[in-house]
């Protein structure tokens, strides 16, 4: 009997050591990571099955109150993830939108203005990061950790900008294939909303729906909501001045009822000021012809976009360059 007890407790001691070692190694592998620019970061990147999700994301902090997001321009397609195939799942790539974000970041750096950047490098066939967690992968939970990583990083930067600058702007870069070659700016307002007169656009009924609600209530230039949407200093008009037609803008104040038009999606709603906070958001749906057909066009547009961003910030938020 005594010998049996000794064997039992020796076995428990041995297995306990093994479990302790496994726990320690797990803690070491998951406790800290580095950002894409080498800074130490608290976000956990190593998850189940030793998948390193940092391979699919690129992010960096900035020095101006702007976050650039790109979610549909990725090309990486890990074989161990199934393709999204549920009804309504859109998997088409927004060509050169990842490259546009990078080129815009580079163009801004030439004037020592660095936007915060969060870019997805995974194909839209595998995940759609402009959707809620439930809708991002047709109910497949295998990419939940990556969805969390991406959106927690945007939220972290959003909170930091609000702390450092008081207010700021999220620009979510997309590409559309609609026949009308113009940039569609999404403020979470419908075509019907945008077709209203200035008085209606400035009413609480519509400004409460807007992803730039905070800016309409508190902007440096002191202009109202309708002017921010389609006035001389609106984002669309500034783009138009650079030779890139946009809607809404001073020259194209609203889409016609029969026009295809993107109002803004999950990211615009989640990170804009419609529901809370002082950070605004605009979804940029960018046409392809003459803008993002090749890298040369992308570079030219990125240069124009970087100038528009600085002008928009200076006009409505403050001087940051």
pLDDT, tens digit (0-9, with 9 covering 90-100), for 71-126: 999 999 999 999 999 999 999 999 999 999 999 999 999 999 999 999 999 999 99
pLDDT of residue 93: 97
Task: Decide which of 175 and 30 is more confident.
Answer: 175
Lowest mean pLDDT: which of 44-53, 73-82, 134-143, 284-293? 44-53
ω into residue 248 within 30 of 0, thus cis?
yes
What are the CA-CA distances from residue 12 to residues 22, 26, 95, 228 (Å)? Answer: 15, 21, 58, 70
pLDDT of residue 153: 98
Q: Are 241 and 235 in contact (CB under 8 A)?
A: no
* Rounded Cα–Cα distance for residues 246 and 248 (Å): 6
Query: What confidence tier does 321 reach under pLDDT thresholds 50, 70, 90?
Result: low
Is residue 310 within 8 Å of residue 212, measured between CB atoms?
no
Write the pLDDT tens digit of every residue in 238-264. 999 999 999 999 999 999 999 999 999
Computed over every residue of the chain, the mean pLDDT equals 88
CA 236/CA 135 separation, integer angstroms: 30
* % of the chain beyond a pLDDT of 70: 84
Quick one: tokens of 217?
A: 């209530």
Question: According to the model, what pLDDT value does residue 49 have?
Answer: 57
Say what percent of the chain tops pLDDT 90.
81
Give the residue-averaged pLDDT of 142-161: 97
Do 191 and 261 form a contact (C-beta atoms < 8 A)?
yes
Q: Read off the pLDDT of residues 180-239 as tens digits, 9 standing for 90 and up.
A: 999 999 999 999 999 999 999 999 999 999 999 999 999 999 999 999 999 999 999 999
Interacting residues of 225 by C-beta distance below 8 A, sequence separation 6+: 201, 202, 206, 207, 210, 212, 216
**Structure confidence at residue 50 (pLDDT):** 78
Tokens 């690129």 -> residue: 58
Contact 238, 311 (CB under 8 A): yes
Residue length of the chain: 321
């Amino acid at each position: 009997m005594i010998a049996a007890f000794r064997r039992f407790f020796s076995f428990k001691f041995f297995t306990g050591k093994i479990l302790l070692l496994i726990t320690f190694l797990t803690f070491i592998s998951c406790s800290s990571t580095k950002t894409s620019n080498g800074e130490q970061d608290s976000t956990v990147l190593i998850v189940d099955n030793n998948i390193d999700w940092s391979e699919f994301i690129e992010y960096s902090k900035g020095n101006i109150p702007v976050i650039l997001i790109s979610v549909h321009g990725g090309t990486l397609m890990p074989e161990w993830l199934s393709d999204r195939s549920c009804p309504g799942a859109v998997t088409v790539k927004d060509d050169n939108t990842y490259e546009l974000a990078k080129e815009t970041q580079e163009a801004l750096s030439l004037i020592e203005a660095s936007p915060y950047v969060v870019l997805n490098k995974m194909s839209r066939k595998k995940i759609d990061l402009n959707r809620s967690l439930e809708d991002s992968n047709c109910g497949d939970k295998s990419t939940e950790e990556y969805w969390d990583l991406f959106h927690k990083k945007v939220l972290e930067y959003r909170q930091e900008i609000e702390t450092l600058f008081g207010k700021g702007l999220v620009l979510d870069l997309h590409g559309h294939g609609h026949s009308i070659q113009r940039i569609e700016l999404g403020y979470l307002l419908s075509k019907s909303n945008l077709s209203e007169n200035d008085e209606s656009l400035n009413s609480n009924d519509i400004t409460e729906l807007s992803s730039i609600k905070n800016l309409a209530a508190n902007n440096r230039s002191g202009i109202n909501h309708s002017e921010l949407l389609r006035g001389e200093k609106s984002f669309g008009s500034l783009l138009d001045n650079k030779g890139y037609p946009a809607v809404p803008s001073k020259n194209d104040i609203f889409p016609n009822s029969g026009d295809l038009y993107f109002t803004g999606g999950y990211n615009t709603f989640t990170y804009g000021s419609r529901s809370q906070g002082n950070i605004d958001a605009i979804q940029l749906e960018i046409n392809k012809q003459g803008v993002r057909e090749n890298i040369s066009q992308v570079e030219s547009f990125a240069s124009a976009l970087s100038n528009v961003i600085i002008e928009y910030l200076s006009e409505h938020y403050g001087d940051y360059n």
